[in-house]
Amino acid sequence: MREGNPLGSAASVAQWGVMTESEALEMLRADDPASVTHAEAELWTMWCRSGVPEVDALLLNGVQAMERQDLGEADRCFAEMIAQAPWFAEGWNKRATVRYLAGNFDGAIADCRETLQRKPHHFGALSGQGLCHMALGQYHEAADMFRRTLGVHPHLEAARGNLARALQAAMRGNGHQAAS
């Protein structure tokens, strides 16, 4: 956190309105928890809006399928999103989430990488990729992803806890699980 950050000031809170992605990313570093929460919500709103009605409908349908735990339907929706709008990072990110939930960690990592090519500061994809590396016993890689997550979103406590767990596991096992 930096002293004198105008984005963390009471004045900036009073002036919330439409902000750019860069402004929201900067606000994630604010000292004021309300500013951080607002910035995070703004980023997710930006990231989940493609501007193409058909693609946005697929996103909504895929999220609803995930909520019903219908991972097959969710995967179908997100794969169709990617086919229609490969430039839309959130299609890749949502499919990564479905793949993670289905235990396809390598596929999820590939989709996180696609997300990060399009949105390098996507803290959800950074953290999600870290979780995949954890699941695969790749603790050094996981720790790197959680550090990157915290570099973007220093107040993300889940990433901080996951970093601690990854470092602890890396120290126990030299960074990787023993082969079975």
Q: At what angle do helices 105-118 and 89-101 cross, to 10 degrees?
A: 160
Tell me the pLDDT of the chain averaged across its residues: 89
> pTM for this structure?
0.85
| Confidence at residue 163, expressed as pLDDT on a 0 to 100 scale | 96
- Residue listed under structure tokens 């990072």: 89
In this predicted structure, what is the pLDDT of residue 2? 27
173 lies in some domain: yes
> To the nearest whole percent, how much of the chain has pLDDT over 70?
87
Tokens of residue 111, six digits: 């989709």
In this prediction, residue 104 has a pLDDT band, given cuts at 50, 70 and 90, of very high
Question: Closest Cα to residue 93, out of 48, 152, 55?
Answer: 48
Reported confidence tier of residue 172, pLDDT bands at 50, 70, 90: confident
The residue that leads in pLDDT, 175 or 27, is 27
Tell me what the mean pLDDT of segment 94-120 comes to.
98
Total domains in the chain come to 1
Supply 161's token pair.
Answer: 């806890």
- The answer to the question of residue 125 being in a domain is yes
Answer yes or no: is 142 within a domain: yes
Confidence (pLDDT) at 177:
53
In a domain, 15, yes or no: no
- 63 pLDDT more than 80: yes
Domain, as residue range, for 176: 121-180
What local confidence, expressed as pLDDT, does residue 5 receive?
Answer: 34
Q: Classify residue 14: in a domain, yes or no.
A: no
Residue 163 in any domain: the answer is yes
By the 10 Å C-beta count (0-12 exposed, 13-18 middle, 19+ buried), 96 is classed as: buried
Which pLDDT value is given to residue 17?
Answer: 59
